[in-house]
Amino acid sequence: MRARSLLFFDRVREEGKNLRALVVEEVSPDHRTVKVRSMTPEPVSEAFVRNRTITTMCEEIEKGPAWLNDFNWCLRRCDSPELPFIISEQPLMAYGPHSQLLEALRDPETLLFFPVCWQACLIGSRRSFDVETDRFGNEDMRRFQRMYRESAELFLLSPTKIDF
Question: Virtual CA dihedral for 76, 81, 83, 87, nearest 10 degrees?
Answer: 70
**Domain presence at residue 163:** no
**Contact, 65 vs 112, CB < 8 A?**
no
Q: How far is CA 95 from CA 57, 59, 112, in A?
A: 25, 27, 6
**Domain presence at residue 164:** no
Q: Which of 63, 83, 103 is the last residue of a domain?
A: 63
Please tell me which residue, 87 or 8, carries the higher pLDDT value. Answer: 87
**Domain presence at residue 33:** yes
- How does DSSP classify residue 137? P
Query: Which pLDDT value is given to residue 63?
Result: 80
**Cβ neighbours, 10 Å, residue 14:** 11
Residues 77 and 146 in one domain: yes
Quote the percentage of the chain above a pLDDT of 70. 99
Q: Which of 13, 39, 63 is the last residue of a domain?
A: 63
Picking from 89-93, 99-103, 106-110, which range would have the lowest pLDDT averaged per residue?
A: 99-103
Residues 35 and 112 in one domain: no
CA distance 89 to 154: 6
Residues 90 and 135 in one domain: yes
- How does DSSP classify residue 152? -
Query: Which pLDDT value is given to residue 131?
Result: 93
**Domain presence at residue 102:** yes
Residues 74 and 144 in one domain: yes
Residues 27 and 79 in one domain: no
Residues 93 and 118 in one domain: yes
pLDDT in tens, 132-154: 999 999 999 999 999 999 999 99
pTM (predicted TM-score): 0.62
pLDDT in tens, 15-70: 999 999 999 999 999 999 999 999 999 999 999 999 999 999 888 888 877 778 88
Overall average pLDDT of the 9-19 stretch? 91
Residues 71 and 137 in one domain: yes
Overall average pLDDT of the 68-78 stretch? 92
**Domain presence at residue 115:** yes
Can you give the residue range of the structural domain that contains 37?
A: 2-63
Q: b or e along 55-80 (b: 16 or more beta carbons within 10 Å of the residue's beta carbon)? A: ebbeeeeeeeeeeeeebeebebebee
Residues 71 and 146 in one domain: yes
Residues 47 and 119 in one domain: no
Residues 51 and 77 in one domain: no
Work out the mean pLDDT of the chain and round it to a whole number. 90
Q: How many domains does the chain have?
A: 2
Q: Decide: helix, strand or coil at residue 30.
A: coil
Q: Which residues contact 49 (CB under 8 A, 6 or more apart)?
A: 13, 16, 17, 19
